Amino acid sequence: MTQEYIKKAEILLEALPYLRRFQGQSLVVKYGGAAQQDPELKKGFAQDITLFQHLGINVVVVHGGGTQIGQYLKDLNIPIRFVEGLRVTDAPTMDVVEMVLAGKINKEIVNLINAAGGRAVGLSGKDGKLLEAQKMEFYRPRPDEPPEIIDIGLVGEVTAVNVELIRTLQAQHFIPVIAPVGVGEQGETYNINADTVAGAVAGALNAAKLILLTDVPGVLDREGRLVSSLGRYQALTLMEEGAVSGGMIPKLKCCLEALEEGVAKAHILDGRLPHAVLLEIFTDTGIGTEIVG
């Protein structure tokens, strides 16, 4: 029993330098995948975020919800179509996206954090023009021809982040939980990729860390081995050589863009691991893949 207590003390001492380093700093976490589905992982995530708040770390949560959106669209017999990983979003689809993200999922996350002892407030990008956006222009390259222009509907990209709203909430010790729905100049509603939103928010806040939770261990090389740390050149090389493909490419690009905007470090973590965010922040070894400028 004594050894068990000693081990706990050692864990706290290992965390101490990180507590000092990140106190008062902003940490942006993109929450999605299995961590957003499994009841135990959801509970653990809420506990982690609450602990950060009590330790004086300013956490901002940006969440996805693709699986739940897909199920609602199916139930309502609304056609589902993707173009290279992007959901084609017509007006009926946008209504469902906003309802599921800003309504159901956002408030569920807020409730989980509040139940764990935190103080969370749910927002969509339309609240206070938190996420200003414009329609994404999508081009598909074609050999020996001009790129094909594809209309993917109300899919947007962030043009500005209203950090004043986020900082006001943080000053009052609230955790902002953001649904990735943006607003255009004429009041249009846009569906925005949650990774992209997390990166834009982290850059606007000059966050100490951007963390993307995924359903893989991190960035893997050609042999399927975890790459624990990546510099910008290495990351670009992995993408150019095709060693990294699929959904990992936009995540890596998002991390690199956030670093360009002033984020100190970005991390791609396995959200299937209980308390993944806590392990990354407060242990010497860390987990997943760290991307540095």
27 belongs to a structural domain: yes
129 is a domain residue: yes
What is the domain-level CATH number for residue 177? 3.40.1160.10
Considering its fold, how many domains does the chain have in total? Answer: 1
Q: Is residue 69 part of a domain?
A: yes
What pLDDT score does 45 carry? Answer: 94
In this structure, is residue 7 part of a structural domain? no
CA-to-CA distance for 266 and 250, rounded, in angstroms?
Answer: 13
- Predicted local distance difference test score (pLDDT) of residue 5: 65
Q: Is residue 9 part of a domain?
A: no
Interaxial angle between packed helices 248-260 and 232-240, expressed in degrees from 0 to 180 and rounded to the nearest 10: 150
pLDDT (tens place) for every residue of the chain, 293 residues total? 677 767 767 767 777 777 777 888 999 999 988 888 889 999 999 999 999 999 999 999 999 998 899 999 999 999 999 887 788 999 999 999 999 999 999 999 999 999 999 999 999 999 999 999 999 988 877 777 777 788 899 999 999 999 999 999 999 999 999 999 999 999 999 999 999 999 999 999 999 999 999 988 889 888 888 888 888 888 888 888 878 877 788 889 899 999 999 999 999 999 999 999 988 888 766 788 999 87
Helices 66-75 + 91-98 axis angle, to 10: 120
In a domain, 215, yes or no: yes
Helices assigned H by DSSP within the chain: 2-22, 39-54, 66-75, 91-98, 106-115, 163-171, 194-205, 232-240, 248-260, 276-282
Asked, for residue 5, whether it belongs to a domain, the answer is: no
Nearest partner of 91 among 193, 191, 195, judged by Cα: 191
Tokens read off for 264: 């100190």
In a domain, 1, yes or no: no
* Closest alpha carbon to 243 in 224, 228, 225, 222: 222
Closest CA to 135 of 156, 118, 110, 120: 156
Domain with 256, as residue range(s), is: 23-291
At residue 93, the pLDDT reads: 95
Q: How far apart are CA 203 and CA 225, in angstroms?
A: 29
Which residues, other chains included, contact 215 with Cβ-Cβ below 8 Å and sequence gap of 6+? 33, 34, 270, 271, 272
What is the per-residue pLDDT for 284? Answer: 67
